[in-house]
Amino acid sequence: MEKLGDKLGMTRNITKEKLLHKGAEASLFYGHWFGKEVIFKHRIIKDYRIEQLDRKIRTVRTLNEARALIKVKEYRINTPQVYEIDTESSTIIMKYISGSKLKNLIKTLNISKKKEIFTNLGRIIAILHINGHIHGDITTSNIILTSSEDIFLIDFGLHDYSDSIEDKSVDIHLLKRVLISSHGDDFKLCFNAFLEGYKSEYRERGNNAYNDIIKNISIIETRGRYVKKENRL
């Protein structure tokens, strides 16, 4: 069992024990931090970038994600608790959330439960948007449902701050695309429930911006080619 503390210059009370996921931008490891179950999110070095630039990019993105995870908790949104940020290794140490990805649960849920979950998810994303946060990667893989049916939103790696209708529409459009491509049989039910929750949260706050945001999704879909946000530059 490798001691992550040895690699990161931390204490020997920190260990990584299992690689859970290796993506293009980051690797996720399961392990322990002073006796607590944690996830280590380590941003991967990109050899094709100039070393100083690569270090700066990874540091900025690590700090941005960690701050977002901490900030949105103020709105009573469930996200993993951040325990430590190591900028030298571009690593966030956060609480391990025990549960299942929504992606793997949808087929097992009855109609009523699907409506409930996606209505609540719509409210959660509305709260983010009302407060100027763009998640950037709303997929059913980035939503964890615990045994007590609490919804946790994870992976803020593409998080941004914006009050733009366009950015909020793009955020929702990504979820729509994921539902169509990965959960086609449940698309209409789940997406309509999501929109109802989204609109309800805006209405209750006396904010009618949801009309323009939702209308703009259709405009996005009429464009010749949709370019993911992270590939625009």
- Give me the domains of the chain, ranges plus CATH numbers: 4-95 (3.30.200.20), 100-231 (1.10.510.10)
Give the Cα-Cα-Cα angle 201, 144, 162 (nearest 5 degrees): 45
- Residues annotated as part of the active site: 137
- pLDDT, tens digit only, all 233 positions of the chain: 344 445 554 556 888 889 999 988 999 999 999 999 999 999 999 999 999 999 999 999 999 999 999 999 999 999 999 999 999 999 999 999 999 999 999 999 999 999 999 999 999 999 999 999 999 999 999 999 999 999 999 999 999 999 999 999 999 999 999 999 999 999 999 999 999 999 999 999 999 999 999 999 999 998 755 554 444 33
**Number of Cβ atoms within 10 Å of the Cβ of 34:** 11
pLDDT in tens, 178-213: 999 999 999 999 999 999 999 999 999 999 999 999
* Predicted pLDDT at 232: 39
* Predicted pLDDT at 226: 52
Length of the chain: 233
State the alpha helices, DSSP H only, in the chain. Answer: 4-8, 51-72, 102-105, 111-130, 165-182, 187-204, 210-222
pLDDT in tens, 112-137: 999 999 999 999 999 999 999 999 99
Alpha-carbon gap, residue 57 to 53, rounded angstroms:
6
Alpha-carbon gap, residue 217 to 221, rounded angstroms:
6
* Predicted pLDDT at 48: 92
